[in-house]
Chain A
């Protein structure tokens, strides 16, 4: 289908001129986000030097980390030419249940809470994945339904109650703010980065990871190639759900006071991050590091606008423009790539 997809599915071949060229172009896409990120930081800092004060940076990184964790899972789903709209609701449910655990089971270790969050999210993802992949319902429809169902379960569970910051241990609330001693980088930002790199490695080097790209590039070809499509797609949804569950626990740590509206509307922000990060919305190309960087870029821009004293009211409009700009840019790059490839093919006589 798209040329980008062709490149993604062929990296194990002998590096011919063609694959090397396309590889370079694809890498440039991720570098492009880093470039824009650098530019934003540079411009903002040159105007307002306090932008890079350590507190601001820590806050940007921690805040973006939650979105980045969700974006990594969402990117895995979008690469397979599906979409997961339920991540916000799953994160909200996980946030409430997990924060409530501290109240109901005093002394429960934080690790266990994270594990339960991941399991809960993974369970939701499993239902979504089975409905989508086995029952062949379009994922947009399934996850739209799941968005409401999971949120309603949350509402019924919570009732009018809420978990307040006083009911969870202080150490839990500090997870969001803890930094690595000496460097000052927040723990959870490092965690999100490690996660993105690990998933990137999985998706680019493991057969089952490569399968996700194959499915997204051309589902029919993937089926003929013997790829267990339903299994892979379900796995992607389980991962997306589990990561949304973990993000929910992090959200609880950040906000402290959780009611049934926690993380409402996060799904579109997460998909926006993934798209800005260069993952094609119809699957088959892009990578999770880009998606995580997309989340960081969105967070940085919001913060930069604030620092620059741009009227806060226009934040969201800027974000919208940025999303449209990013996909337009991506479209342009892909068109360029396509014509370059075509010329090359002609020259090689392929």
Chain B
């Protein structure tokens, strides 16, 4: 009993529930919109409009924005594909009402381990297997602490964020390794043959997004994740193995992040302990902008895909804008994140403001109006 209540309260803890009537697992958005499909349509449509706006803004700044080389070098290349890959398991985990803040540290740890193993002349195949296995172990450890020990995932993954980064530092220390075989480092430098604007990492992301999207939206397993996020107890009583499912998601997250660590190391041609430092919050923000509800139980992979494109597009467009300090890009990310939660909340806010006015009127002794009865 006790662990269950604790666990289920994580979602509301994350949500910073302030006791709205019907706060907690109540969905953040979509409540006021009728129909089952329309809330999804609305969110993704908004993102599409935003994306079109970004492209227009980019083209307006410079016609080079949509050129193959620019798309590859500043929009879809770089770390965009790597971040995007990590948003997939993050989306799944947030849908089940948990969170994983250790993703970037896991990638960093993978990068460190890879450098270490290369230094010790292991064979490439063995290195890949070992690094991915380490990712699985890292994810499974998170999953174990969250599901079996029953700790809140926010606290656990802040702990493992420090732990895994610590192990990354421990493995390599101040050393760097940067003599990887060119065959592999080329995948980070060159676009996909035949698609001159596409980086390998982003292509892998697209393929994986399709797979994850199919599993999430078209299979019983996917429905299970939504069920867990919507109501953990109900899911449990419906015979869903909640703990095992979450455990598997964390393990999946660990493997994907380790894979990202490999991609990142090859792209930079450097294994160093602070690789991927601080990316976890970008990953979370992208998932949230993609319409994944922080309360769990809601969201689509299409939204996540669009959010990744929006963020990549904005950054690419801002690079073209002269006179904008690129270290200040996060102001756009932050503003967008705020807007993405504020705007869907407006109808709810207006309703509550109206209620507050009524309440005050009643307190001041005015005759209760007819509207008041209606609004209740």
Binding site for B on A (CB under 8 A): 1-2, 80-83, 85, 131-133, 135-142, 144-149, 151-153, 155-156, 159, 215, 218-220, 222-223, 229-230, 233, 260, 265, 268, 271-272, 275, 281-283, 311, 313-321, 323-324, 327-328, 331, 334-335, 338
Contacts and interface: CB of A to CB of B under 8 A. Distances in A.
Contacts of B335: 145, 149
A148 B334 contact: yes
B166 A319 contact: yes
A275 B15 CA distance: 18
Contacts of A215: 18-19
Given A83-B154, A153-B331, A281-B154, A138 B14 contact: yes
A156 B163 contact: no
B324 to A, nearest CB: 9
B294 A141 contact: yes
B152 interface: yes
Given A148-B331, A323-B163, 15 more contacts: A81-B12, A138-B16, A140-B15, A145-B334, A149-B334, A152-B328, A152-B334, A156-B325, A272-B162, A275-B158, A311-B173, A321-B159, A323-B159, A328-B145, A328-B149
Nearest to B329: A152
Contact of B149 (A140, A271, A311, A331): A331
B27 interface: no
Interface centre among B23, B295, B333, B334 (most CB of A within 10 A): B334
Contacts of A265: 278
B325 A315 contact: no
Interface centre among A145, A218, A220, A223 (most CB of B within 10 A): A145
B9 interface: yes
A222 B345 CA distance: 23
B151 A137 contact: no
A313 B173 contact: yes
Contacts of A83: 13-14, 16, 154
Given A132-B18, A141-B341, A148-B333, A320 B160 contact: yes
A222 B19 contact: yes
B165 interface: yes
A234 to B, nearest CB: 10
B169 A324 contact: no
Contacts of A156: 325, 328, 331
A320 B334 contact: no
Contact of B151 (A149, A268, A331): A331
Contact of A229 (B5, B10, B18, B159): B18
B156 to A, nearest CB: 7
Contacts of A80: 18
Interface in B1-42: 2-3, 5-6, 9-10, 12-21, 23, 28
B166 A320 contact: yes
Nearest to A134: B349
Contacts of A139: 16
A137 B342 contact: yes
Contact of B166 (A1, A135, A318): A318
Contact of B145 (A145, A147, A324): A324
A220 B154 contact: no
B294 A327 contact: no
A230 B352 CA distance: 13
B55 interface: no
Contacts of A321: 159, 163
Interface stretch (B125-133, B191-199, B281-289): B281-289
Interface of B: 2-3, 5-6, 9-10, 12-21, 23, 28, 145, 149-152, 154-156, 158-167, 169-170, 173-174, 278, 281, 284-285, 288, 294-295, 325, 327-331, 333-335, 337-338, 341-342, 345, 348-349
Given A317-B163, A317-B170, A324-B163, A331 B18 contact: no
A233 B349 CA distance: 17
Contacts of A137: 338, 341-342, 345
Given A271-B158, A313-B173, A147 B334 contact: yes
Nearest to A264: B278
A219 B18 contact: yes
A142 B345 CA distance: 13
A1 B9 CA distance: 9
Contacts of A218: 19
A85 B345 CA distance: 22
A220 B149 contact: no
23 contacts: A2-B6, A131-B338, A135-B349, A136-B18, A136-B23, A138-B15, A138-B17, A145-B337, A145-B338, A147-B334, A152-B331, A155-B325, A156-B331, A272-B162, A281-B152, A282-B13, A314-B166, A317-B162, A320-B166, A321-B163, A323-B155, A323-B158, A327-B159
Contacts of B288: 141
B170 A314 contact: yes
Given A282-B12, A317-B170, A272 B18 contact: no
Given A215-B18, A271-B158, A282 B9 contact: yes
Interface centre among A132, A313, A314, A327 (most CB of B within 10 A): A313
B31 to A, nearest CB: 12
Contacts of A81: 12-13, 16-18
A156 B328 CA distance: 6
A135 B173 CA distance: 45
